[in-house]
Amino acid sequence: MNKKLVRSWALYDWANSAFATTIMAAVLPIYYSQVAASGLDGSVATSYWGYTQSIAVLIVAILAPILGAISDYSAAKKKFLRFFAYMGMIASVMLAFVDSGEYLFASLLMIIGTVGFSGANVFYDAFLPEIAKGEDIDRVSSKGFAFGYIGGGLLLALNLLLIQKYEWFGLPSTSVGTKISFVSVGVWWFVFSIPLFKNIHEERKTTPDKHTSYIKIGFQRVGSTFKELNQYKQLLLFLVAFWLYNDGISTIIKMATSYGTSIGIGTSDLIMALLITQFVGIPFSFLFGWLATKISAKKALLLALYIYIGIVILGYFMTSALHFYALATCVGFVQGGAQALSRSLFGRMVPDDRHAEFFGFYGISSKFAAIFGPFLFALVGTLTGSSRLGIFSLVVFFIAGIILLTKVDVEKGEKEAQEATFEANATDVHT
């Protein structure tokens, strides 16, 4: 492995996790409920936040495979990564201009920022199988998530001080501290992305047809992949499993603070608990990377998902800040490990010449599926008037995902990818 390249790749996780922690999980959901949607009923504001998440991930789900196919064909993963990352950075800074009652503006910027964050991740993830091979892939993927916890946690800690101890920094109010925290996300994301943008390179594996538009090529390649999915039966089975359990994971990440607010947990407790999640996640991300080498990545991932079922049950009965701290700690145990091992397992079963395209499908399985978690949470809350039933409904995603994951044969999936790559290369040579 090129250690400098691995560090640069992992440092991007450090960079963009600022968006995941400060904007997605901790500060913006509270700011949205208390300021941007201040004229709305609490449960309505929570539902609108859920619908905002659903719209954002729907856009990403539609774009991801097309863009992935185009980037593989044109060797443009790096260009697409930069474009979407810059989109997310700019949207983060623009959130500083959201004032009381402007929930539509806040939702629009959150959608743009999420599209930027998630779109960039499609191409970032697609570089993983290129910088790490074999047994190294689990460890490198886990290292990325661990770096993400450190970077996201450090900035969240600083932003917590800006918001709660604003007078220490000569600021006039909590609101000003909150707005500065939004700006800090865009700046942090940009600065720590520079090493990856500078050091990552990719080889052109095809010769572009100058007479055909990239958009047409993208649709053609995605259509071809759909027709060929029967060659990747284990990968497809894994995608469906991931589609299910990751919906539960992403909904917990996105709706935790909004849910806590709706049942009366204070802002300080909510943010402090999420900060605990970040720093607990650092050693446990490395731990799951090590555990994968001892019992296999699949078994380590299943262990994490069983713990998630317990987390959902705890969330249903949660009534106090102490319970939320316990919930946040448990999430820290498994969140990074589950996501890192999912990414590396998928990367093992992807054909060598189509990383971005298949990670685009990975984006579909996570982003399109993630429409249903927040939507179900919001719908159950709207119909019953109880956010508790909304959080409990997530247990079905984990149970179904576990059942399908147990049926995935990873080694067979690796062989299927190798055979498909060999056949494609043989066809190219013949042509």
What's 95-126 look like in SS3? HHHCCCCCHHHHHHHHHHHHHHHHHHHHHHHH
Residue 219 lies in a domain: no
Same domain, 290 and 408: yes
Whether 213 is in a domain gets the answer: no
Note whether 271 and 350 are same-domain residues.
yes
Q: For residue 377, what pLDDT is reported?
A: 74
CA–CA separation, 257 and 418 (whole Å): 43
Residues 118 and 167 in one domain: yes
Alpha helices (H) in 229-354, listed in sequence order: 233-262, 267-295, 297-317, 321-348
Kindly state whether residues 247 and 195 are assigned to the same domain: no
Q: pTM (2 decimals)?
A: 0.74
Report how far Cα 228 is from the mean position of its chain's Cα atoms: 27
Does 279 share its domain with 354? Answer: yes
Within a domain: residue 225? no
Give φ, ψ of 210 to 5 degrees: -65, -15
**Closest by alpha carbon to 270, among 308, 317, 332, 324?**
324
- The residue written with tokens 């050693």 in the block is 283
Tell me what pLDDT residue 169 has.
94
One domain, residues 161 and 256: no
343 within domain boundaries: yes
The burial class, CB within 10 Å (0-12 / 13-18 / 19+), for 83 is middle
- In whole angstroms, what is the distance from residue 363 CA to residue 357 CA? 10
Q: Are 267 and 308 part of one and the same domain?
A: yes
Q: What is the CATH number of the domain that holds 305?
A: 1.20.1250.20
Q: How many domains does the chain have?
A: 2
Phi-psi region of 133 (alpha: psi -120 to 50; beta: other; left: phi over 0): beta
- Can you give the residue range of the structural domain that contains 293? 231-430
Residue 215 placed within a domain: no
Q: DSSP character for 40? A: S
Structure tokens, 140:
């490198």
pLDDT value of residue 117: 93
CB 73 within 8 A of CB 376: no
The answer on 193 and 235 residing in a single domain is: no
Nearest alpha-carbon partner for 152 in 245, 281, 40 = 281
DSSP code per residue over 310-328: HHHHHHHH--SHHHHHHHH
Contacts by 59-63 with C-beta closer than 8 Å and gap 24+?
59/111, 59/115, 60/114, 60/115, 60/118, 60/119, 60/122, 60/363, 60/367, 61/363, 61/364, 61/367, 61/368, 61/371, 63/115, 63/119
In a domain, 222, yes or no: no
The answer to whether residues 260 and 160 belong to one domain is: no
216 found inside a domain: no
- Same domain for 46 and 182? yes
271 within 8 A of 26, measured Cβ to Cβ: yes
Q: Are residues 188 and 235 in the same domain?
A: no
pLDDT number for residue 210: 54
**Judgement on whether residues 159 and 263 belong to the same structural domain of the protein:** no
Q: What is the pLDDT of residue 221?
A: 65
- Residue 101 CA to residue 405 CA, distance in Å, equals 44
208 within domain boundaries: no
* Rounded Cα distance, 352 and 10, in Å: 21
Q: Output the CA angle 359-360-362, nearest 5 degrees.
A: 55
Q: Which residues contact 357 (CB under 8 A, 6 or more apart)?
A: 65, 68, 69, 71, 72, 221, 222, 225
- Divide the 431 residues of the chain into consecutive groups of 10 and give the mean pLDDT of each group: 90 95 86 87 78 81 73 79 96 96 94 92 87 84 90 92 92 94 97 95 61 65 68 88 86 72 75 82 89 93 95 84 86 89 90 75 64 75 74 86 95 87 56 46
- In angstroms, rounded to a whole number, what is the distance separating the alpha carbons of residues 286 and 32? 34
Name the DSSP class of 351: -
Please tell me the distance from the alpha carbon of residue 9 to that of residue 227, in angstroms, as a whole number: 32
